[in-house]
Chains A and B, each alone.
Chain A
Amino acid sequence: DSGVTQTPKHLITATGQRVTLRCSPRSGDLSVYWYQQSLDQGLQFLIQYYNGEERAKGNILERFSAQQFPDLHSELNLSSLELGDSALYFCASSALGSGGWYNEQFFGPGTRLTVL
């Protein structure tokens, strides 16, 4: 158990819909990352937040957005869903190490999204 929690575990929805995925980081970690894992693309970085502020952006679609709340939990919002958005979505968290770099990332169990 990494200490990172994600809900829900599974989500089945239809094209065009909007869903929200939730993540709680490990105790004490201020940084949260979101990743998408699909069979053809592997594990892809989407976005990073640190203490409520966006820090880095990867290949995140404009239909997707995220935020980190004052209690440090984070939500990933996916809208206008398409069949190709079906994937595993992982949240990870890390602590700030020395020199301003972030330590290793610890991953949650993921949310499996199926778009029908």
Chain B
Amino acid sequence: EDQVTQSPEALRLQEGESSSLNCSYTVSGLRGLFWYRQDPGKGPEFLFTLYSAGEEKEKERLKATLTKKESFLHITAPKPEDSATYLCAVQAKAAGNKLTFGGGTRVLVKP
């Protein structure tokens, strides 16, 4: 069964204090790994798709990387508006097109 584990569960940062979120996965043939941002009571907002080990994607203060067993979401010099829950999901080649989500990391950036 595909599994996704995110750590830490929660992260409190000072504005400007860079950090990384981890997403570990076990999947039978990875088709893609997805990062989403979710604000309270809202739908997940798509951030990145990574397809193969070594791939990196960047968007503003966020950078996602992928290895064969895990993905990292680096937040560089975060601002309070980066506060959200960050979700990681995998899509397995053998499981059709469904996404299996991790539990998320709640990030709070204090000014």
Known: A43-B44, A107-B44. A31 touches B34 (CB 8 A): no
Q: Is A45 a contact of B98 with CB atoms below 8 Å?
A: yes
With an 8 Å Cβ cutoff, the count of chain B residues facing the other chain is: 23
Task: Considering the complex, give the chain B residue whose CB is closest to the CB of A9.
Answer: B41
Contacts of A107 in B (CB 8 A): 36, 43-46
Contacts of B44 in A (CB 8 A): 43, 90, 107
**Cβ-based interface call for A74 (8 A):** no
Q: Is A105 a contact of B42 with CB atoms below 8 Å?
A: no
Shortest distance in angstroms between B90's beta carbon and chain A's nearest beta carbon?
A: 11
Tell me the chain B residues, 85-111 only, with Cβ under 8 Å from chain A. Answer: 87, 89, 95-104
Q: Is A56 a contact of B97 with CB atoms below 8 Å?
A: yes
Q: Is A110 a contact of B43 with CB atoms below 8 Å?
A: yes
Shortest distance in angstroms between A55's beta carbon and chain B's nearest beta carbon?
A: 7
Contacts of B104 in A (CB 8 A): 42
Shortest distance in angstroms between B104's beta carbon and chain A's nearest beta carbon?
A: 7
Q: Is A42 a contact of B98 with CB atoms below 8 Å?
A: no
A44 to B104, CA, bound (A): 13
Contacts of B32 in A (CB 8 A): 101, 104
Q: Is A42 a contact of B49 with CB atoms below 8 Å?
A: no
Shortest distance in angstroms between B35's beta carbon and chain A's nearest beta carbon?
A: 10
For the complex of A and B, 3 pairs with smallest distance between CB atoms: A107-B43, A56-B96, A43-B101
Task: Name B residues whose Cβ lies closer than 8 Å to a Cβ of A.
Answer: 31-32, 34, 36, 41-46, 49, 87, 89, 95-104
Known: A107-B43, A107-B44. 8 other contacts (CB 8 A): A31-B97, A42-B104, A56-B95, A92-B43, A94-B97, A101-B31, A101-B97, A106-B46
